[in-house]
Amino acid sequence: MPDDLEYAEPVGAGYGSRPVSVDLVRGQRLTAVASSGGDRAVRRLAGPRRDRVWPADQLANAQWPDSHRILVCSLAGGVGRTTLVGLIAGTLASALPAQQHAMRRLVVGEVEPDTVTTIRRRWKGISPLVDLQDRAGVPSETSGLAVLDVSAGLAPCLRAVTASPSAAVVLVVRPDQHSLNDLASALAWLHSTGELPRSRTVVVINDQLGSSDRRSRATATALGIRTTTVRRLPADRSLGPLGSLPPHGQLRPSLRLILTQLCLDIHRVTIPR
């Protein structure tokens, strides 16, 4: 900033006025403008919103443990679990620097065989940087970062957690109160038995499957004490039940931001080896 610029104190400022944090203008472009009294003041120029830029930068700089597993589970079927697996993988593929892709594969697969033959077709177009797993099961230790679709039900989830003791667990649920209560009860039991610590779980409420009411919103808020983070996946026409998922860059910016924040939540519950 030039030395001859002075900050013009607004009228009425003084005792009791709220100071402005330096963080509010950090990294933003400033320009000099003329005030009504002829003095010069400093004003911020419009630029990209930092709440959208910073999460993307944080995810690009995130360090993932070797052979890390992200397990996407659900208590019931038909909750959008396979869709979320593809969205997480596409987000990670677009965020990880090229040098990380050169050193490490990004794998998408199923932990257990599924009778639905269209499941792999769902992931076909998410990114050329994503490898589809050849066969069902937990990948080998040398396969790199993996996002895995776990069959619906508590038993398959526990088997996958046992096979990958350091994995991050993402639980997908419908937005209705009954489904949220069932998940809260299951998490309370898993925490009490020590089979799935709270520090390893992230919950995603799929609003694609219905709308929430006052009671379900209160239940979703209370669910926060059972997990590290609760995120909502908004309804979007591009995420329909048929066909392959669109690439990450073709999603709406607001949806990309939510997915980036979700991946950061998953990174925070990651247990380094």
**Residue range 216-249, pLDDT digits in tens:** 888 888 888 899 999 999 988 888 766 678 888 8
Q: Say if residue 84's pLDDT is above 60.
A: yes
192 and 259: one domain?
yes
Instruction: Spell 51-60 as b/e; 16+ CB within 10 A means b.
Output: eeeebbeebe
Q: Say if residue 131's pLDDT is above 70.
A: yes
131 and 204: one domain?
yes
Whole-angstrom Cα distance, residue 238 to residue 246? Answer: 7
The pLDDT assigned to 161 comes to 84
61 and 160: one domain?
yes
Select the more confidently predicted residue: 112 or 109.
Answer: 109
Each residue of 33-72: pLDDT tens digit? 555 555 555 444 444 455 556 888 888 888 888 778 899 9
105 and 179: one domain?
yes
Select the more confidently predicted residue: 116 or 261.
Answer: 261
The pLDDT assigned to 214 comes to 76
Q: Which domain holds residue 234?
A: 50-268
Asked if residues 199 and 234 have their Cβ atoms less than 8 Å apart, the reply is no
Residue 26: which pLDDT band, with cuts at 50, 70 and 90? very low
As beta bridge partners, residue 147 has 70, 108
Asked if residues 43 and 249 have their Cβ atoms less than 8 Å apart, the reply is no
125 and 7: one domain?
no
197 and 253: one domain?
yes
The pLDDT assigned to 128 comes to 72
Is 30 in a helix, a strand, or coil? strand
Contacts of 219 (CB under 8 A, 6+ apart): 177, 180, 181, 184
Q: What is the mean pLDDT of the chain?
A: 76
Q: What is the pTM of this model?
A: 0.76
Q: Which of 26-35, 120-129, 133-142, 180-189 holds the top average pLDDT?
A: 180-189
Radius of gyration (Cα) for the chain, nearest Å? Answer: 23
104 and 204: one domain?
yes
Whole-angstrom Cα distance, residue 258 to residue 260? Answer: 5
23 and 115: one domain?
no
273 in a domain, yes or no? no
117 and 19: one domain?
no
73 in a domain, yes or no? yes
Q: Say if residue 118's pLDDT is above 70.
A: no
Residue 14: which pLDDT band, with cuts at 50, 70 and 90? very low
The pLDDT assigned to 104 comes to 65
Angle at 215 between CA 212 and CA 221, to 5 degrees: 85
Whole-angstrom Cα distance, residue 23 to residue 8? Answer: 20
Helix axis angle, 253-268 relative to 81-95, nearest 10°? 90
Whole-angstrom Cα distance, residue 34 to residue 38? Answer: 6
94 and 179: one domain?
yes
| Structural domains counted in the chain | 2
Average pLDDT of span 102-128: 70
93 and 5: one domain?
no
